Structure 1
Amino acid sequence: MTIKPIYCYITALAGFFGLFALLMLWNTILSPSTRFPVALVLLVAVTPLLLPMRGLLDRNPRSCAWAAYVSLIYFLHGTAEAYVNPDERLYASLEVMLSLMLFFGTAFYVRLAGKQN
Protein backbone atom coordinates (compact mmCIF):
# COMPACT_ATOMS: atom_id res chain seq x y z
CA MET A 1 0.00 0.00 0.00
CA THR A 2 1.44 3.33 -1.04
CA ILE A 3 0.64 6.69 0.44
CA LYS A 4 -0.72 9.17 -2.06
CA PRO A 5 0.80 12.66 -2.01
CA ILE A 6 -2.64 14.26 -1.72
CA TYR A 7 -3.10 12.73 1.75
CA CYS A 8 0.18 14.24 2.89
CA TYR A 9 -0.82 17.57 1.39
CA ILE A 10 -4.17 17.50 3.21
CA THR A 11 -2.34 16.71 6.46
CA ALA A 12 -0.01 19.65 5.84
CA LEU A 13 -2.93 21.99 5.15
CA ALA A 14 -4.74 20.82 8.29
CA GLY A 15 -1.60 21.48 10.32
CA PHE A 16 -1.07 24.86 8.65
CA PHE A 17 -4.60 26.21 9.10
CA GLY A 18 -4.92 24.64 12.54
CA LEU A 19 -1.69 26.29 13.63
CA PHE A 20 -2.81 29.60 12.17
CA ALA A 21 -6.17 29.42 13.97
CA LEU A 22 -4.56 28.33 17.24
CA LEU A 23 -2.07 31.19 17.21
CA MET A 24 -4.79 33.72 16.44
CA LEU A 25 -7.08 32.41 19.19
CA TRP A 26 -4.33 31.87 21.75
CA ASN A 27 -2.95 35.39 21.41
CA THR A 28 -6.26 37.24 21.19
CA ILE A 29 -9.04 35.42 23.06
CA LEU A 30 -7.69 32.51 25.11
CA SER A 31 -4.67 34.13 26.76
CA PRO A 32 -3.76 37.60 25.47
CA SER A 33 -0.45 39.10 26.52
CA THR A 34 -0.53 41.66 29.31
CA ARG A 35 3.01 42.92 28.69
CA PHE A 36 2.93 43.53 24.94
CA PRO A 37 0.30 44.88 22.54
CA VAL A 38 -1.77 42.10 20.98
CA ALA A 39 -1.05 43.39 17.47
CA LEU A 40 2.71 43.12 18.04
CA VAL A 41 2.40 39.60 19.43
CA LEU A 42 0.28 38.55 16.43
CA LEU A 43 2.75 40.14 14.03
CA VAL A 44 5.67 38.24 15.52
CA ALA A 45 3.75 34.97 15.98
CA VAL A 46 1.87 34.70 12.69
CA THR A 47 4.07 36.43 10.09
CA PRO A 48 6.59 33.56 9.64
CA LEU A 49 3.69 31.21 9.01
CA LEU A 50 2.29 33.45 6.28
CA LEU A 51 5.51 33.68 4.26
CA PRO A 52 5.23 30.29 2.45
CA MET A 53 1.41 30.31 2.39
CA ARG A 54 0.86 31.20 -1.28
CA GLY A 55 3.25 28.56 -2.53
CA LEU A 56 1.86 26.01 -0.11
CA LEU A 57 -1.64 26.60 -1.44
CA ASP A 58 -0.32 26.31 -5.02
CA ARG A 59 1.43 23.03 -4.10
CA ASN A 60 4.82 24.43 -4.99
CA PRO A 61 7.38 21.88 -3.68
CA ARG A 62 9.91 24.57 -2.80
CA SER A 63 7.36 26.51 -0.74
CA CYS A 64 6.22 23.30 0.90
CA ALA A 65 9.82 22.62 1.93
CA TRP A 66 10.08 26.13 3.37
CA ALA A 67 6.82 25.61 5.26
CA ALA A 68 8.39 22.51 6.81
CA TYR A 69 11.37 24.58 7.96
CA VAL A 70 9.12 27.32 9.34
CA SER A 71 7.04 24.77 11.24
CA LEU A 72 10.11 23.87 13.29
CA ILE A 73 10.06 27.38 14.82
CA TYR A 74 6.56 26.68 16.12
CA PHE A 75 7.63 23.26 17.36
CA LEU A 76 10.40 24.85 19.40
CA HIS A 77 8.08 27.54 20.72
CA GLY A 78 5.45 25.00 21.71
CA THR A 79 7.88 22.72 23.54
CA ALA A 80 9.46 25.64 25.40
CA GLU A 81 6.06 27.09 26.31
CA ALA A 82 4.81 23.70 27.53
CA TYR A 83 7.86 23.37 29.77
CA VAL A 84 7.85 26.92 31.14
CA ASN A 85 4.15 27.74 31.51
CA PRO A 86 1.99 24.97 33.01
CA ASP A 87 -1.17 27.10 32.71
CA GLU A 88 -0.93 27.09 28.92
CA ARG A 89 0.37 23.56 28.46
CA LEU A 90 -2.72 22.49 26.50
CA TYR A 91 -2.30 25.28 23.94
CA ALA A 92 1.42 24.59 23.68
CA SER A 93 0.80 20.88 23.17
CA LEU A 94 -1.66 21.69 20.39
CA GLU A 95 0.96 23.94 18.82
CA VAL A 96 3.49 21.10 18.92
CA MET A 97 1.01 18.63 17.40
CA LEU A 98 -0.06 20.99 14.61
CA SER A 99 3.51 22.00 13.79
CA LEU A 100 4.45 18.32 13.50
CA MET A 101 1.46 17.73 11.22
CA LEU A 102 2.66 20.60 9.02
CA PHE A 103 6.25 19.38 9.08
CA PHE A 104 5.61 15.74 8.27
CA GLY A 105 2.81 16.52 5.83
CA THR A 106 4.95 18.88 3.78
CA ALA A 107 8.08 16.74 4.01
CA PHE A 108 6.31 13.61 2.78
CA TYR A 109 4.36 15.56 0.17
CA VAL A 110 7.56 16.93 -1.36
CA ARG A 111 9.16 13.51 -1.32
CA LEU A 112 6.19 11.63 -2.76
CA ALA A 113 5.24 14.29 -5.32
CA GLY A 114 8.85 14.32 -6.54
CA LYS A 115 8.76 10.57 -7.12
CA GLN A 116 5.65 10.86 -9.31
CA ASN A 117 7.28 13.29 -11.75
Structure 2
Amino acid sequence: MSPTTRFYRYLALGSYIGLLAWVAVWQLLLNTDHSYSLTFIAIIYLLPLLLPAKGMIQGKPYTHAWANFVVLFYLIHGCTVMYAIEAERLYAAIELILVMLMFTGCCVFARRRGKELGLGLTKLKDEMKREREYFEGKN
Protein backbone atom coordinates (compact mmCIF):
# COMPACT_ATOMS: atom_id res chain seq x y z
CA MET A 1 0.00 0.00 0.00
CA SER A 2 1.40 3.37 -0.99
CA PRO A 3 1.95 6.04 1.70
CA THR A 4 -0.76 8.27 0.23
CA THR A 5 -3.27 5.42 0.25
CA ARG A 6 -2.29 4.59 3.83
CA PHE A 7 -2.82 8.24 4.83
CA TYR A 8 -6.36 8.21 3.46
CA ARG A 9 -7.06 4.87 5.13
CA TYR A 10 -6.04 6.31 8.48
CA LEU A 11 -8.00 9.49 7.78
CA ALA A 12 -11.10 7.42 7.06
CA LEU A 13 -10.57 5.12 10.04
CA GLY A 14 -9.73 7.92 12.48
CA SER A 15 -12.68 10.07 11.48
CA TYR A 16 -14.94 6.98 11.54
CA ILE A 17 -13.94 6.18 15.11
CA GLY A 18 -14.17 9.87 16.01
CA LEU A 19 -17.66 10.12 14.52
CA LEU A 20 -18.79 7.00 16.34
CA ALA A 21 -17.45 8.32 19.64
CA TRP A 22 -18.79 11.84 19.05
CA VAL A 23 -22.30 10.67 18.20
CA ALA A 24 -22.33 8.46 21.30
CA VAL A 25 -21.14 11.27 23.57
CA TRP A 26 -23.48 13.82 22.02
CA GLN A 27 -26.62 11.72 22.03
CA LEU A 28 -26.10 9.85 25.28
CA LEU A 29 -24.30 12.40 27.51
CA LEU A 30 -24.54 15.96 26.17
CA ASN A 31 -28.13 15.90 24.96
CA THR A 32 -30.27 16.63 28.00
CA ASP A 33 -33.63 16.50 26.20
CA HIS A 34 -34.27 12.76 25.96
CA SER A 35 -37.74 12.53 24.48
CA TYR A 36 -36.95 8.93 23.47
CA SER A 37 -35.47 6.03 25.43
CA LEU A 38 -31.70 5.62 25.46
CA THR A 39 -32.07 2.24 23.74
CA PHE A 40 -33.99 3.82 20.85
CA ILE A 41 -31.42 6.62 20.57
CA ALA A 42 -28.56 4.12 20.53
CA ILE A 43 -30.26 2.05 17.83
CA ILE A 44 -31.08 5.03 15.62
CA TYR A 45 -27.79 6.92 16.00
CA LEU A 46 -25.14 4.27 16.71
CA LEU A 47 -26.26 1.09 14.96
CA PRO A 48 -25.87 2.44 11.40
CA LEU A 49 -22.28 3.45 12.19
CA LEU A 50 -21.51 -0.03 13.48
CA LEU A 51 -22.50 -1.71 10.20
CA PRO A 52 -19.22 -1.01 8.34
CA ALA A 53 -17.00 -1.48 11.42
CA LYS A 54 -15.40 -4.82 10.48
CA GLY A 55 -14.53 -3.82 6.92
CA MET A 56 -13.30 -0.38 7.97
CA ILE A 57 -10.94 -1.91 10.52
CA GLN A 58 -9.73 -4.53 8.02
CA GLY A 59 -9.16 -1.86 5.36
CA LYS A 60 -11.46 -3.26 2.68
CA PRO A 61 -11.96 -0.78 -0.17
CA TYR A 62 -15.49 -1.98 -0.95
CA THR A 63 -16.61 -1.34 2.64
CA HIS A 64 -15.06 2.12 2.54
CA ALA A 65 -17.04 2.83 -0.62
CA TRP A 66 -20.46 1.82 0.74
CA ALA A 67 -19.78 3.33 4.18
CA ASN A 68 -20.29 6.68 2.46
CA PHE A 69 -23.96 5.83 2.05
CA VAL A 70 -24.22 5.33 5.81
CA VAL A 71 -22.38 8.56 6.57
CA LEU A 72 -24.85 10.55 4.46
CA PHE A 73 -27.43 10.05 7.24
CA TYR A 74 -25.11 11.89 9.62
CA LEU A 75 -24.55 14.64 7.06
CA ILE A 76 -28.30 15.19 6.87
CA HIS A 77 -28.59 15.03 10.67
CA GLY A 78 -25.80 17.55 11.17
CA CYS A 79 -27.19 19.99 8.61
CA THR A 80 -30.68 19.73 10.10
CA VAL A 81 -29.47 20.32 13.66
CA MET A 82 -27.24 23.17 12.49
CA TYR A 83 -30.27 24.87 10.95
CA ALA A 84 -32.97 24.02 13.49
CA ILE A 85 -31.43 23.88 16.96
CA GLU A 86 -29.36 26.92 17.83
CA ALA A 87 -28.16 25.52 21.17
CA GLU A 88 -26.55 22.48 19.48
CA ARG A 89 -24.85 24.16 16.52
CA LEU A 90 -21.37 23.53 17.88
CA TYR A 91 -22.17 19.82 18.31
CA ALA A 92 -23.51 19.67 14.75
CA ALA A 93 -20.42 21.48 13.42
CA ILE A 94 -18.16 18.86 15.00
CA GLU A 95 -20.31 16.12 13.50
CA LEU A 96 -20.17 17.73 10.06
CA ILE A 97 -16.37 18.08 10.18
CA LEU A 98 -16.01 14.41 11.10
CA VAL A 99 -18.48 13.42 8.38
CA MET A 100 -16.59 15.37 5.73
CA LEU A 101 -13.26 13.90 6.82
CA MET A 102 -14.67 10.38 6.78
CA PHE A 103 -16.34 10.89 3.41
CA THR A 104 -13.14 12.22 1.87
CA GLY A 105 -10.97 9.52 3.43
CA CYS A 106 -13.31 6.72 2.38
CA CYS A 107 -13.71 7.98 -1.20
CA VAL A 108 -10.02 8.48 -1.86
CA PHE A 109 -8.95 5.29 -0.07
CA ALA A 110 -11.50 3.13 -1.91
CA ARG A 111 -10.45 4.56 -5.27
CA ARG A 112 -6.69 4.37 -4.71
CA ARG A 113 -6.70 0.95 -3.03
CA GLY A 114 -9.06 -0.45 -5.63
CA LYS A 115 -6.65 0.65 -8.37
CA GLU A 116 -3.70 -0.84 -6.48
CA LEU A 117 -5.55 -4.16 -6.24
CA GLY A 118 -6.76 -4.03 -9.85
CA LEU A 119 -10.40 -3.75 -8.87
CA GLY A 120 -11.19 -0.75 -11.07
CA LEU A 121 -14.13 -0.64 -13.44
CA THR A 122 -13.40 -0.55 -17.13
CA LYS A 123 -14.61 2.40 -19.15
CA LEU A 124 -17.81 1.81 -21.07
CA LYS A 125 -16.19 2.39 -24.47
CA ASP A 126 -13.50 -0.19 -23.68
CA GLU A 127 -16.10 -2.68 -22.49
CA MET A 128 -18.21 -2.13 -25.61
CA LYS A 129 -15.14 -2.62 -27.82
CA ARG A 130 -14.26 -5.85 -26.05
CA GLU A 131 -17.81 -7.16 -26.39
CA ARG A 132 -17.98 -6.16 -30.07
CA GLU A 133 -14.72 -8.00 -30.78
CA TYR A 134 -15.99 -11.04 -28.89
CA PHE A 135 -19.34 -11.27 -30.68
CA GLU A 136 -17.99 -10.38 -34.14
CA GLY A 137 -15.36 -13.06 -33.76
CA LYS A 138 -18.05 -15.72 -33.14
CA ASN A 139 -19.78 -15.21 -36.52
Alignment TM-score, normalising by the size of structure 1: 0.92
Cα deviation digits, residues 53-109 of structure 1 (max 9, x gap): 101111111111111121111011101111000100011011111011111101000
Q: Which residue of structure 1 lines up, in the alignment, with residue 121 of structure 2?
A: none
Q: Which residue of structure 2 lines up, in the alignment, with residue 60 of structure 1?
A: 60
Displacement of 1:34: 2.4
Which structure 1 residue ranges, 5 or more long, are not aligned? none
How far apart in 2 are the matches of 1:33 and 1:95?
18
Q: Which residue of structure 1 lines up, in the alignment, with residue 45 of structure 2?
A: 45
How far apart in 2 are the matches of 1:19 and 1:67?
13
Cα deviation digits, residues 9-67 of structure 1 (max 9, x gap): 11101110111111111111111442111121111101111101101111111111111
Whichever residue aligns with residue 80 of structure 1, its letter is: T
Work out whether residues 68 and 104 of structure 1, in 8 Å CA contact, stay in contact via their aligned partners in 2.
no
Whichever residue aligns with residue 34 of structure 2, its letter is: T
Q: Which residue of structure 1 lines up, in the alignment, with residue 15 of structure 2?
A: 15
Identity %: 30
Match status 1:4 vs 2:9 = no
Which structure 2 residue ranges, 5 or more long, are not aligned? 118-139
Whichever residue aligns with residue 76 of structure 2, its letter is: L
Instruction: Report the structure number with the largest CA radius of gyration.
Output: 2
Whichever residue aligns with residue 104 of structure 1, its letter is: T
Q: Which residue of structure 1 lines up, in the alignment, with residue 122 of structure 2?
A: none
Match status 1:115 vs 2:119 = no
Q: Which residue of structure 1 lines up, in the alignment, with residue 131 of structure 2?
A: none
Work out whether residues 20 and 46 of structure 1, in 8 Å CA contact, stay in contact via their aligned partners in 2.
yes
Compared CA separation, residues 39 and 32, structure 1 to 2 (3 A): farther
